[in-house]
Amino acid sequence: MYVPKPFTPDEADVRALLTHLGAADLVTMTPQGLLATLLPFEYDPDTGEHGALIGHMARANGHWREPVQGEAMVIVHGPQAYVSPTWYATKAEHHRVVPTWNYVRAHVYGRLAVHDDPAWIVAQMRRLTDRHEAGSAEPWSVDQAPAKFLEGQLRAVVGVELVISRIEAKAKLSQNQPRQNVEGVIAGLEARGRSDDAAVAAAVRAHSRYADTP
């Protein structure tokens, strides 16, 4: 991943991205070529030196059966948004501005392990659903599913675990812009209100080098 110095996130940012991740892309090089599957993952910080990403996929998906050549990679998506040059105050001064894209991403590399163990898989399912159901007025639990039905569901999936060896992350959030342009980007995103705009605006504000100056 190409990461210019201004866009390098700190360890706390990366940990937060992994802790709150949703679905991410599992990518592996195999004898059949590159394979990719979008899966919901959970971050397990207590496995190995750098933690692990744990999930499950359909048994019918042949991706898990293919031998992995080298490291596997999970592409973790943070918020992203188009940035219009009309939001830059410097446009009125010299017009030397162009559109760009603000985003947060992590490429997480490691060894991929497959778990064909119902106990491991159901524990991962509980962890996943408990986190995503936490904000519900009536949260659903794995225990609400009939035992026989759950047994059938477990037979239809396999667990996957990426034991992390290294992480390349990038937070491109207008850090290379002067204060007036950063303020314009935040205002423009908040006013536009498309999907992810509010999250990107908050991230731009949090990563601005002007955040703690008057």
Residue 3 exposed, middle or buried by CB count within 10 Å (0-12, 13-18, 19+): middle
CA pair distance 119, 113, nearest whole angstrom:
16
pLDDT (0 to 100) of residue 39: 98
pLDDT (0 to 100) of residue 65: 97
In a domain, 195, yes or no: no
Tally of domains in the chain: 1
In a domain, 171, yes or no: yes
In a domain, 117, yes or no: yes
pLDDT (0 to 100) of residue 35: 98
In a domain, 205, yes or no: no
pLDDT (0 to 100) of residue 210: 78
3-state secondary structure 14-58: HHHHHHCCCEEEEEEEECCEEEEEEEECEEECCCCCCCEEEEEEE
**Helix/strand number for the chain, H first, E second:** 6, 7
In a domain, 194, yes or no: no
User: What CATH number does residue 19 fall under?
Assistant: 2.30.110.10
pLDDT (0 to 100) of residue 212: 56
In a domain, 148, yes or no: yes
pLDDT (0 to 100) of residue 209: 81
pLDDT digit string, tens, across residues 63-89: 999 999 999 999 999 999 999 999 999
Torsion angle, alpha carbons of 60, 72, 48, 108, to 10: -110
Domain residue limits at 155: 5-81+100-175
**What residues contact 116, with CB distance under 8 A and at least 6 apart?**
158, 159
pLDDT (0 to 100) of residue 169: 98
Whose CA is closest to 182, among 212, 204, 206? 204
Strand pairing report for 72-83 and 100-115: antiparallel
Torsion angle, alpha carbons of 87, 88, 89, 90, to 10: -150
pLDDT (0 to 100) of residue 213: 53
Residues of the chain under the 70 pLDDT cut: 211-214
pLDDT (0 to 100) of residue 92: 87
In a domain, 13, yes or no: yes
In a domain, 56, yes or no: yes
